[in-house]
């Protein structure tokens, strides 16, 4: 998008103005607020992993809605610290991602969110594959920490989660929904998958024999 069109859109966007008025780091805050107003997965003591957190608007919402919980914000890029949150610069595909997260999180999370996106290539299939890869990486990480009953929220593209990913979500969670927040630009292909009611992780092998 040309910089003039971008500027025009920013100036005319009520969510940009509202974000500035509320002190949010970006308009993305309203997407998470809307999803939580509808599905109620955040809460006073919830422990949240916020993937693709920079510049930090979702982190701000998580902190406000989970004041006695824990918020771990992760991004591949540098992010300004936010008082109350643990901020980690980390690529979710890194080999030591689980280890680094475990050092901050301990063992248990109630909510795993991914608002991760790779820069758009303009080639829809490539963009789709990339976002699915990020979504799967987020789900893999969730599998290491998620408590039974937990929630997984991830950005996908229009058309929703791919069959294979959707099957995995339906196997691991009691309820799986797609949602397009009003704050998500209508022209954009982005939407979210919200999977609730994590079923207990598979029993360790030694208990299965
Ligand atoms: C749309 S922005 C997130 C906005 C954020 N939720 C907020 O509220 O401010 C997407 C983020 O995903 C991050 N990201 C992309 N690939 C990633 C990866 N492999 N690991 C971690 N973060 C990644 C990007 O650096 C970018 O900051």
Instruction: Print the domain residue range for 40.
Output: 25-208
Per-residue pLDDT at 201: 63
Name the maximum alpha-carbon separation found in the chain. Answer: 64
pTM greater than 0.85: yes
Residues with catalytic function: 155
Instruction: Look at the chain and report how many structural domains it folds into.
Output: 1
With respect to residue 186, please indicate whether it lies within any of the assigned structural domains. Answer: yes
Inside any domain, residue 20: no
Report yes or no on 80 lying in a domain: yes
**Predicted local confidence at residue 40, as pLDDT:** 98
- What length does the chain have? 209
Ligand 1 centroid, distance to 51 Cα (angstroms): 7
Taking the centre of ligand 1 as the mean of its atom positions, its distance from the CA of residue 53, in whole angstroms, is 5
Q: Tell me what pLDDT residue 12 has.
A: 80
Has residue 7 been placed in a domain? no
Q: Sheet containing 109-114: give its strands across.
A: 86-89, 70-75, 47-51, 109-114, 146-157, 190-198, 173-179
pLDDT at 205: 42
Q: Specify whether the CB–CB gap between 24 and 136 falls below 8 A.
A: no
Q: For residue 203, what pLDDT is reported? A: 44
pLDDT for the residue 41: 98
Closest C-alpha among 74, 102, 67, 68 to residue 88: 74
- Give pLDDT, residue 98: 97
* Ligand 1 centroid to residue 88 C-alpha, Å: 12
Give the per-residue pLDDT at 206.
46
Return d(Cα 205, Cα 121) in angstroms, integer: 42
Residue ranges in the chain whose pLDDT is less than 50? 202-209
In 11-170, beta strands by DSSP E: 47-51, 70-75, 86-89, 109-114, 146-157
Q: If you take atom 17 of ligand 1, which residue's CA is the nearest one?
A: 76
* Domain-located, residue 18: no
Nearest C-alpha to atom 13 of ligand 1 is from which residue? 52
Assigned domain for 181 exists = yes
Residues having CB within 6 Å of any atom of ligand 1? 25-26, 28, 52-58, 74-77, 91-93, 115-118, 134
Specify if 57 maps to a domain: yes
Strands (E) across 6-161 are located at: 47-51, 70-75, 86-89, 109-114, 146-157
- CATH assignment at residue 55: 3.40.50.150
4 is a domain residue? no
The pLDDT score that the predictor gives to residue 50 is 98
């Amino acid at each position: 998008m040309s910089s003039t069109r971008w500027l025009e859109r920013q100036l005319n966007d009520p969510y940009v103005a509202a974000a500035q008025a509320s002190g949010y780091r970006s308009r993305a805050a309203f997407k998470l607020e809307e999803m939580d107003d509808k599905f109620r997965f955040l809460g006073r003591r919830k422990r949240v992993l916020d993937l693709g957190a920079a510049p930090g608007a979702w982190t701000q919402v998580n902190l406000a809605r989970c004041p006695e919980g824990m918020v771990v914000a992760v991004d591949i890029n540098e992010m300004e610290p936010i008082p109350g949150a643990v901020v980690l610069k980390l690529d979710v595909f890194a080999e030591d991602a689980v280890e680094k997260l475990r050092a901050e999180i301990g063992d248990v999370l109630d909510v795993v969110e991914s608002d991760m996106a790779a820069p758009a290539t303009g080639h829809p299939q490539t963009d789709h594959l990339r976002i699915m890869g990020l979504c799967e990486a987020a789900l893999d990480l969730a599998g290491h920490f998620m408590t039974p009953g937990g929630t997984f929220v991830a950005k996908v593209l229009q058309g929703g989660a791919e069959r294979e990913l959707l099957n995995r979500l339906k196997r691991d969670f009691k309820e799986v929904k797609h949602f397009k927040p009003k704050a998500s630009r209508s022209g954009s292909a982005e939407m979210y998958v919200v999977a609730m009611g994590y079923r207990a992780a598979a029993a360790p092998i030694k208990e299965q024999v």
